[in-house]
Structure 1
Amino acid sequence: MFHYTAGHGRVIDSTLFAGTCWLLWKNRNNFCFQGELQSFAQIQAKSVQLKQQIIQASEKESTIIGAGGLRTPRDIKWQPPQHEWVCLNTDGSVTNSPLSSAAGGVVQGDDGRFITAFTMNLGGGSVTSAELAGIVQGLKLTWEAGVRKVILQTDSTTAKHLIEVATPHHRHYTSVAEIRRWLARDWQVHIVHVYREANVVADYLANLGHLCSVGSHVIAAPDAALSYWLYHDIIGVGTTRFIIE
């Protein structure tokens, strides 16, 4: 959560207004001169990202040195895997009103090309159970896609830790054991933690799950909304984050 004074907030709001006007003006020029027109949802998404960047910049003095020591700005974005590998990104999501849990994931090639994706409504449960369910489904789809060199990216340090150390007495062990069975198959899977800013496609798909019927839904071809976020990864759109070195 961000905290800033009322006066500071007015500066952020005025800067955001100017930035949004610029996005609209740019969209108009692209339509006039190149025949390209972005949807309102795309402009809105960019405005939200712009606001986050403005707030981060405005908080720079108070966040450069914080708990844990010196923080260094880093451009966080999706990183494609090395040649002949694929990247599986998964995410979980929970809403409180109404109570709902969901997960989503996407498999992309080393050039960012779409291979397969899924979104799933889990009904209820915790964030951790949603994260683990997403990893199970993601591994299943990736295996069925026939690829055998996989970088699994998750923004959940808890899920990654449980996969590594959970014992049979842990309440999430059933999901962890299923993940371990998938990992034990004849393929190479490396699990890495990424920041959520590098996991935007999976985040979108996880949130989409809340709107779907209970169960898993495989996406064979991306629609316009999903294509927008995939393009976001391919062109390397990043978000500045202050990282403790």
Structure 2
Amino acid sequence: MSWLWGLIRDSLGRWVIGFAKFLGQTNAYMAELWGLFHGLRIARSQGIGKLIVQSDSVVIVKSLQTGSEGSATGWMLFKKIKQLLTLNWEVRIIHVYREANSCADIMAGQGCSLQGDEEIYSNPPTVVLQCVSNDARGVSFPRLVSS
């Protein structure tokens, strides 16, 4: 069973809103697409005019940057994401390694503790308080990447 998790932070790394949604049976690619779509819709509903989306899915980021249609599996959802991106706001989508998405990664481990199919968090769940604090203070954890 799959859950999607995401969070929106301000330019200083402070929590704005978080979300979780039950997806049922799906693969990692589709979960990433649903997370992006859901996150964009929430950001839009919050009146956010400038957004930098950080995703650890290099496939999705490259597909959106090059304007391709993505995988045949998720083409309709991919099309909806592209429609959201054409609205009157500034959205930049960049690839980051999983370590840079540690808050979302930590939240993803909490899927089984949800009470319903969807939750919105106006405050960070206890499990990510330290991670959000670290991000706001600029704490980083290096990663070795082969060249």
Per the normalisation by structure 1, the TM-score is 0.55
SS of the equivalent of 2:7 reads strand
* Equivalence for 1:207: 109
Aligned partner letter, 2:96: V
Gapped regions of structure 1 (runs ≥ 5): 1-99
* Equivalence for 1:187: 89
Partners of 2:137 and 2:119 in 1: how far apart? 27
Give the greater-gyration-radius structure (CA): 1
Highest RCO, 1 vs 2 (Cα 8 Å, sep ≥ 6):
2
Asked if structure 2 preserves the Cα contact closer than 8 Å seen for 1:117 and 1:218, the reply is: yes
1:57-82: CA deviation from partner (whole Å, max 9, x where unpaired) = xxxxxxxxxxxxxxxxxxxxxxxxxx
Asked if structure 1 preserves the Cα contact closer than 8 Å seen for 2:2 and 2:31, the reply is: yes
Aligned residues between the structures? 145
* Equivalence for 2:30: 129
Task: Say yes or no: does 1:231 pair with 2:133.
Answer: yes
Per the normalisation by structure 2, the TM-score is 0.89
Does the C-alpha gap of structure 1 residues 223 and 101 become closer, same or farther in structure 2, counting only changes over 3 Å? closer
Q: CA RMSD in A?
A: 1.8
Out of 61, 69, 91, the position equivalent to 1:166 is 69
Percent of pairs identical after alignment?
28
Asked if structure 1 preserves the Cα contact closer than 8 Å seen for 2:107 and 2:127, the reply is: no
Partners of 2:80 and 2:111 in 1: how far apart? 22
Gapped regions of structure 2 (runs ≥ 5): none
Asked if structure 2 preserves the Cα contact closer than 8 Å seen for 1:133 and 1:175, the reply is: yes
Asked if structure 1 preserves the Cα contact closer than 8 Å seen for 2:106 and 2:127, the reply is: no
1:173-223: CA deviation from partner (whole Å, max 9, x where unpaired) = 011011111101100000000001100111122232343256321111223
Partners of 1:205 and 1:142 in 2: how far apart? 18
Partners of 2:21 and 2:106 in 1: how far apart? 12
